[in-house]
Structure 1
Amino acid sequence: MTTDPREAGPRPPFPGDQQQEKPGLTSKMTPPPDHGEESYVGKGLLADRVALITGGDSGIGRAVAIAYAREGADVAISYLPVEQSDAEETARWVRQAGRRCALLPGDLADEGHCRTLVAQTVAELGGIDILVNNAAAQVINNELGDVNAADLENSFRVNVFAMFYLAQAAVARMKPGSTIINTTSVQAKVAGEKMLIYSATKGAIASLTISLSNLLAPQGIRVNCVAPGPIWTPIQPIVKTPEELATIGEKTPLGRAGQPAELAPAYVLLASGEGSYISGALIPVTGGMPML
């Protein structure tokens, strides 16, 4: 494996003509994303812990699920019912690592489902030590007039409101030493002009992380977030034009899109005892894109 970060993953151009309808499937992507299936080696950092990962069927969520399983954790993943095939593939890798995997389909826009997810995780896996709020909805606008109430409401319900509901339900079951990890984005600071709603939700997540960290620190629960840059996941062929898809990541300092596997170590650090003095932090994994 190369140690040159410019060559650690595929570089553009990507095949541009591979658009998908929401929510997108990994199996339809060329080249296939790397989730660490053949590369991630665990060290027992999460032995016998239980993690709930939203959006765990594909992309960053799948990479985190594989890494957590190889670190010794049992994993529950939430996803939309139409993503069942991707979820089953993630479960196969988790179980191949010798860990249990609970498959929990449903819509995070539903408050009741968010609370049920935690109850199901506890019922099937015996507890909850790690909550990874990773799932997200993304919409694109070309003009301000493109923004509509339905997109606003759904994006905030899935990206932000769900984090409140899941955290409320999970913290009631968590012990000192537990962790919550939220996925924000470089868009929380870069805020591209075509991502008005998405950027707003990701900025909210970054602020929520700090507030929640301060609130839960007296209970011994750490809260942090990871900010990905452009990552090769199923969200890309949903929202990007063929021209944008072909050149994804080209403008980052490293000149390429990141692979989901390159995010997993950050989530492992934040979930494990190796990160015991990290709380309220935002860790950029952006290919060099600044978050100032």
Structure 2
Amino acid sequence: MPEQPAQQQTPPGTTAAMTPRPDHGEQSYRGSGKLTGKAALITGADSGIGRAVAIAYAREGADVLISYLDEHEDAEETRRWVEEAGRKAVVVPGDVADPAHCRALVDRAVEEFGRLDVLVSNAAFQMSHETLEEIPDEEWDRTLAINLSAFFHLAKAAVPHLKPGASIIGSSSVNSDNPTPQLLPYDVTKAGIANMCAALAQLLGPKGIRVNSVAPGPIWTPLIPSTMPEEAVQTFGEQVPLGRAGQPAELAPVYVLLASDDGSYVSGARVAVTGGAPIL
């Protein structure tokens, strides 16, 4: 039996329509104060990896700005979990493809929390195409704007507010090293995120700011049924050595490590969470 039945949604997809529902650590993640007193900005935090990271950060003691496009129901669910952990949640819709919105997100976080300690650039877009000719020019531009350019604008706006010990984390992908041909624009952006993090780690190291990326493998999020063919959804994750898709909750501890003092000497790294699929 497949881990998930064939299914499809329209982009960007919603958690409620997924079968089975992803595990974001709602019932399993236990915090231990690793981020007490910190404030985090997480893009794409309404669902998937972003929601799992938001829940974990809140349970570790951080206030969280939840950035998302327009999936209001999912974002409110993330807010509820953050607030149940006793932390402040700020929910901000909008398109990170707009550089002005990226800057506004940073300003809002500093205004609401009085500080910014962790930036997680996680929002992503992809679509599947069998040929190069099928990829619309506009889709290429939008994929780069959401996945890669937004990270640049967010980081540039955030750095003046970050103090020594702060952390920037980019969500890369196993696709950065092992590109799936049907996801060409996405592949390119994820390689760019890994490269940007490596460069930023060197640029910002003298300021005491650490920069790392996480390279997920196949993770069960709304991005999958909303951007891939039904038959690909049904077998999603079977190709990795562990033989299944990962759950968002299985990513959260890595993002906590990279944001916390436990990772105080980790910078310029790319951490693979791929179910055994290698990254170079």
Counterpart of 1:4? none
Cα separation, 2, equivalents of 1:98 and 1:127: 18
CA contact (8 A) 2:41 2:116 kept: yes
Q: 3-state DSSP class of the match of 2:181?
A: coil
Tell me how far apart the structure 1 counterparts of residues 99 and 239 of structure 2 sit (CA, whole Å): 38
Shift of 1:139: 1.7
Q: Structure 1 residue aligned with 2:18, among 29, 35, 48?
A: 29
- Output aligned runs, 1:20-169, within 5 Å: 20-81=9-70, 83-169=71-157
- Matched with 2:161 is 173
Partner-residue secondary structure (3-state), 2:16: helix
C-alpha displacement at 1:242, in angstroms? 1.7
2:5 matches 1:15: yes
- Runs (4+) of structure 1 exceeding 3 A deviation are none
Instruction: Provide the residue aligned with 1:208 in structure 2.
Output: 196
CA contact 2:169–2:211 (8 Å) conserved in 1: yes
CA contact (8 A) 2:68 2:93 kept: yes
CA deviation after TM superposition for structure 1 residue 246, in Å: 1.1
Deviation, 1:257, is 0.2
Instruction: State the one-letter code of the partner of 2:180.
Output: G
Shift of 1:270: 0.2
- Aligned-pair CA distance for 1:243: 1.3
2-structure distance, mates of 1:148, 1:84: 28
Structure-2 separation of matches of 1:155 and 1:240: 15
Deviation readout 1:61-80 (Å, 9 max, x if unpaired): 00000000000000001001
SS in structure 1 at match of 2:182: coil
Q: Which amino acid aligns with 1:263?
A: L
Q: How many positions carry a matched residue from both structures? A: 280
1:265 aligns with 253
Pair 1:291-2:279 in alignment: yes
**1:225-264 correspondence runs (5 A):** 225-264=213-252
Q: How far, CA to CA, are the matches of 1:129 and 1:26 in structure 2? A: 28
Contact 2:127 2:228 in 1 (8 A): no
Gaps of 5+ in 1: 1-10
Rounded Cα–Cα distance in structure 2 between residues aligned with 1:240 and 1:48: 40
Q: CA RMSD in A?
A: 0.8
Secondary structure in structure 2 of the residue aligned to 1:89 = helix
Tell me by how many angstroms 1:89 deviates. Answer: 0.1
What's the secondary structure of 2:211's corresponding residue? strand
Task: Tell me by how many angstroms 1:277 deviates.
Answer: 0.6
- Aligned residue for 2:170, secondary structure, equals strand
Aligned partners of 1:64 and 1:267 also within 8 Å: yes
Matches of 2:169 and 2:77, distance apart in 1:
23
How far the C-alpha of 1:133 sits from its partner, in A, is 0.3
Tell me, which stretches of 5 or more residues in structure 2 are unaligned?
none
Counterpart contact for 2:3–2:244, Cα < 8 Å: no
Query: What is the CA-CA distance between 1:198 and the residue it aligns to?
Result: 0.5
> In structure 1, what is the Cα distance between the partners aligned to 2:92 and 2:4?
32
Change (3 A) 1:238 1:175: same
| Corresponding residue SS for 1:190 | coil
Shift of 1:15: 1.3
Displacement of 1:147 in angstroms is 2.0
Residues 53, 255 of structure 2: 8 Å contact kept:
yes
Which one of the candidate residues 166, 187, 190 is aligned to 2:178? 190
Distance 2:166 2:40 in 1: 10
Deviates more, 1:177-186 or 1:237-246: 237-246
Q: What TM-score do you get using the length of structure 1 for normalisation?
A: 0.95
- Please give the per-residue CA displacement for 1:56-97, whole angstroms capped at 9, x wherever unaligned: 00000000000000000000010012x010000000000000
Q: Which residue of 1 aligns with 2:269?
A: 281
Task: Tell me the percent identity.
Answer: 56
Residue 31 of structure 1: how far off its partner (Å): 0.5
